[in-house]
Structures are given as C-alpha cells and as structure tokens.
C-alpha cells in the first residue's frame, strides 16, 4: 500500500528547500555574484533540478530569498514607528536602511523585470511605515509640510532603493543632506538665489 508521508513533503525535500534558500540569499547579498540557477545549486550542494523544483521557478526562489532579507527591515521600521519619536524614528531607520543597502547592493540590480510578488508587497509595507513616520514628524513640526507625506514617502522609498551603489561615506552624506532637506524651510534658506556674502 501507499507509504508516502500523508500530510507533507519528505524530510530531505524540506531540508534541500532550506539549503537552496540559504544559498540564494547568500548569493543575492553578494553584489558580484552571478545569479544563475547553476550557481545557486552549486553553492547549495544540490542539482539544478532540485533547486528549481523546490520553488517552482527561479523567480520564485529569488522572491523568497529577497523577502527573507527584507522582512527584518520591515519589522524594524514598524518597531521604530511604534517606539520612537517620528523624526528620530525616520532618521534611525534611514541610516539602517542605508547600511542594509550597502551590505546587499546586489538586491536592487538583480530584480529588474522579475516577478517578485512577496518582495513587492514588503516594499509597499516599508513605504507605508515610512509614510507614517513622515506624517508624524510633520505633525510635530520637524519635517516640512509644504510637500505631501505621500510625495515624501514615495521619494524616500524610490531613492533609498535606487542608491544601492553608494558607499558608506556617500551614504552618510546623503542621509545628512536628505534629512536637512526634509526640515521645514526657514527664511534663511527659502530664497537663497542671491549670494549673501
């Protein structure tokens, strides 16, 4: 009679799925890595067929890998949103996001034109958290209100993911410029077209 596991997959299939995901996650993090199925399989010590079969397609595997990297970032954004003052939450979160981007700057580049539904959803959640931070900071007066929170959140979301190639030094400078640019405009910098010196 039948002897297969009734409810789920076989133990080795489960283990290999984990191995494939780990290998993919590792390779996605490395900016120089070539993201072929063959490379992932080799890294995982598996055959190419096994790797694809575990997730259905290469895209689905990459989606899972990137989502695994992104989920803690989303959680961290929500935590900061809940616990910290909006302005400080935003600054802290952006600093950490820059670090994340510097550490895994293969992510943005490799995902163009891929079907990554989970990753897309996580990015939307991330932007929502940022939007809440901005709205809060606008309420407390630490961020300019002449630009809509949706615009600013969209702006930050787009740029933060676009600038994956920035090194640490540049990321710091960018964060400084960005945060200062988000401040409410003062009479000192509102219309500085003519040199004051």
Partner DNA sequence: GATAAATGGAATAGCTGTTCCAGTTGACTA
Partner DNA sequence: TAGTCAACTGGAACAGCTATTCCATTTATC
**Shortest approach of its own copies to residue 130 CB, angstroms?**
14
Q: Which listed range, 17-25, 35-43, 49-57, 189-197, lies at the site for its own copies (CB under 8 A)?
A: 189-197
**Shortest approach of DNA to residue 45 CB, angstroms?**
7
**Shortest approach of its own copies to residue 89 CB, angstroms?**
11
Contact 16, 48 (CB under 8 A): no
**How many angstroms separate the CA atoms of 162 and 116, rounded?**
17
DSSP 3-state of 47? coil
Binding residue for its own copies, selected from 68, 85, 96, 125, defined by CB under 8 A: 85
**Shortest approach of its own copies to residue 100 CB, angstroms?**
16
145 near its own copies (CB under 8 A): no
Contact 183, 144 (CB under 8 A): yes
**How many angstroms separate the CA atoms of 114 and 35, rounded?**
13
Q: Which listed range, 37-45, 60-68, 115-123, 147-155, lies at the site for its own copies (CB under 8 A)?
A: 147-155
Backbone angles phi, psi at 27, to 5 degrees: -70, -35
């Amino acid at each position: 009679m039948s002897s297969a596991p009734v409810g789920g997959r076989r133990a080795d299939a489960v283990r290999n799925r984990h191995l494939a995901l780990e290998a993919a996650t590792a390779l996605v993090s490395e900016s120089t890595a070539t993201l072929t199925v063959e490379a992932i399989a080799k890294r995982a010590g598996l055959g190419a067929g096994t790797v694809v079969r575990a997730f259905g397609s290469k895209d689905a595997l990459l989606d899972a890998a990137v989502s695994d990297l992104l989920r803690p970032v989303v959680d961290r954004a929500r935590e900061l949103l809940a616990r910290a003052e909006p302005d400080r939450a935003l600054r802290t979160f952006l600093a950490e996001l820059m670090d994340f981007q510097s550490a895994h700057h293969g992510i943005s580049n490799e995902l163009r034109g891929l079907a990554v539904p989970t990753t897309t959803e996580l990015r939307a959640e991330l932007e929502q958290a940022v939007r809440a931070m901005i709205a809060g900071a606008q309420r407390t007066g630490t961020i300019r209100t002449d630009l809509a929170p949706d615009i600013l959140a969209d702006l930050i979301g787009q740029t933060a993911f676009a600038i994956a190639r920035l090194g640490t030094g540049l990321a710091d400078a960018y964060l400084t410029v960005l945060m200062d640019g988000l401040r409410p405009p003062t009479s000192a910098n509102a219309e500085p077209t003519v040199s004051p010196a």
